[in-house]
């Protein structure tokens, strides 16, 4: 799988760790480098996913929150802040997330490596209830506040 990585100025301490974990997991790395502002990192990773240059992305800022907010503004992106193993895996298996957001000021390198491996290895389950919920999310993305079911 191709994984795009974007880092802002506050995420630099985890750049090498995430890069190495993606590679160690047998994935192809699309390293989009570092930016001063987290929206720039988020936009680059999301563009790579939208263009088919990557299947998933990993964004790192200070808390994970900023890149998550920015990424979730873009169509087709489902980003989640992940600071534990369960969420890193579950956000894919249940919610079909395609972007994981990490906070370099919240977790250290060992946890970042574990979460990167879990996120990259996870697969969407395709269970009916998760497909139904994903359909509602896609309708919200398409119809905005006018969405209804």
Q: Alpha carbon of 51 to those of 37, 55, 56, 135: distances in Å?
A: 22, 9, 11, 22
Active site residue 46: no
Residue tagged active-site, from 35, 46, 61, 120: 61
Q: Helix 109-121 and helix 85-93: axis angle, to 10°?
A: 20
Active site residue 9: no
Residue tagged active-site, from 9, 83, 85, 94: 94
Question: What per-residue confidence (pLDDT) applies to 4?
Answer: 98
103 in Cβ contact with 61 (< 8 Å):
yes
Question: What per-residue confidence (pLDDT) applies to 73?
Answer: 97
User: For the whole model, what pTM was predicted?
Assistant: 0.96
pLDDT by residue, tens only, the chain of 149 residues? 999 999 999 999 999 999 999 999 999 999 999 999 999 999 999 999 999 999 999 999 999 999 999 999 999 999 999 999 999 999 999 999 999 999 999 999 999 999 999 999 999 999 999 999 999 999 999 999 999 98
Listing DSSP states for 56-121 in one string gives: EEEEEESSSHHHHHHHTTSTT--EEE--SHHHHHHHHHTT---EEEEETTTS-HHHHHHHHHHHHH
């Amino acid at each position: 799988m191709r994984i795009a990585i974007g880092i802002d100025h506050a995420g630099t301490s985890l750049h090498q760790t995430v890069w190495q974990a993606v590679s160690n997991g047998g994935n192809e790395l699309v390293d989009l480098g570092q930016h001063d502002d987290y929206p720039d990192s988020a936009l680059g990773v999301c563009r790579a996913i939208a263009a088919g240059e990557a299947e998933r992305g990993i964004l790192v800022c200070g808390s994970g929150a900023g890149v998550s907010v920015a990424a979730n503004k873009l169509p087709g992106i489902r980003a989640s802040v992940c600071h534990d193993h369960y969420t890193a895996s579950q956000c894919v298996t249940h919610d079909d997330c395609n972007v994981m957001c990490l906070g370099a000021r919240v977790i250290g390198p060992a946890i970042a490596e574990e979460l990167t491996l879990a996120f990259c290895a996870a697969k969407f389950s395709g269970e009916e209830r998760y497909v139904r919920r994903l359909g509602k999310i896609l309708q919200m993305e398409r119809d905005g506040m006018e969405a209804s079911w």
